[in-house]
Amino acid sequence: MLPHATLTSRYASTEAKPEFVNRLFDHGAAHYDRIVDWGFLRSGAFYRRWAQRRHGLRPGHRVLDVACGTGLVAVEAAKILGSADAIICLDPSAGMLAVAKTKLAAQFVQGRAEALPFPDGAFDFLTMGYGLRHVTDLEQTFREYRRVLKPGGRLLILEVTKPAGRLRAFFFRLYFGKIYPGLTQLFTRSREAREMMVYFWETMDACVPPEKVLEALRHAGLAEVRRDSLAGLFSEYSAVKRP
């Protein structure tokens, strides 16, 4: 299952998507942290830590942070664990990984969610922050998540979701489709950073609804599948690998 329909204005086919997405993040990496910091009103670090704690991340866990980007989720996980020693960060973008490496002493692996280069049953907790729209196949990705989790292990996927209801959808579109990319261009003076934010909007707009994500998690054989949401906007997908 695709996370969103092929965006032919960006790439010709699903096969061409990884190269496009990789280039986008490599070029936007230097600006990413600053953009998401003010774009989400400086709430990002607190929210990433709070969500991981609520969903059961505890000291002693071995953690895989998929789509780690510049390390924003992993840095908060390290605060909960007390160190980054038991955290592995994975991302396909060398540019994003290079920024992450300056922030925490975790292990870093260049790779993709759809084909995780780890043995079965290696992790207690798996996180993915705002990377779900960028994979090429949801079920394949979730099967990999199930495979690398230990029995009883948990996953937590954070996403921004287009809200239901015309008025809220209108303001969502106005902010993410117009205001956020416009301010990004103004503050960074970078056309590439603006493009990254425009693409974010396009993928949020085209993303499959939460029910489809939940269905794909169940099809991948995961248990206790659920979505918690804040204001219908911030989705927390969680699931467990059956013991």
Ligand X SMILES: C[S@@+](CC[C@H](N)C(=O)[O-])C[C@H]1O[C@@H](n2cnc3c(N)ncnc32)[C@H](O)[C@@H]1O
Residues that bind ligand X (CB under 6 A): 21, 25, 36, 66-69, 72-73, 91-93, 96, 112-114, 129-131, 134-135
Cross-strand bridge partners of residue 155: 126, 239
- Quickly list H helices, 102-190: 138-148, 166-172, 180-188
- The amino acid present at 52, given as its one-letter code, is Q
| Least spacing, CB of residue 165 vs ligand X, in Å | 25
| Least spacing, CB of residue 29 vs ligand X, in Å | 8
| Least spacing, CB of residue 67 vs ligand X, in Å | 3
Query: Between residues 36 and 86, which has the closer beta carbon with respect to ligand X?
Result: 36
Query: Between residues 19 and 166, which has the closer beta carbon with respect to ligand X?
Result: 19
Query: Between residues 78 and 96, which has the closer beta carbon with respect to ligand X?
Result: 96
Tokens of 140: 């394949």
Query: Between residues 86 and 157, which has the closer beta carbon with respect to ligand X?
Result: 157
Going by C-alpha positions, the residue among 3, 6, 34 that lies closest to residue 20 is 6
> CA dihedral defined by 185, 189, 192, 197, rounded to 10 degrees?
-20
Query: Between residues 91 and 124, which has the closer beta carbon with respect to ligand X?
Result: 91
DSSP 118: S
When CB distances to ligand X are compared, the closest residue is 69
| Least spacing, CB of residue 196 vs ligand X, in Å | 8
Residue 154: phi and psi, rounded to 5, are -120, 150
Element (H, E) at 129: strand 123-129
| Least spacing, CB of residue 49 vs ligand X, in Å | 12
Query: Between residues 131 and 181, which has the closer beta carbon with respect to ligand X?
Result: 131
| Least spacing, CB of residue 11 vs ligand X, in Å | 13
- Rounded to an integer, what distance in angstroms lies between the CA atom of residue 7 and that of residue 204? 12
CA atoms within 13 A on the CB side of 133: 24
Judged by DSSP in three states, 63 sits in strand
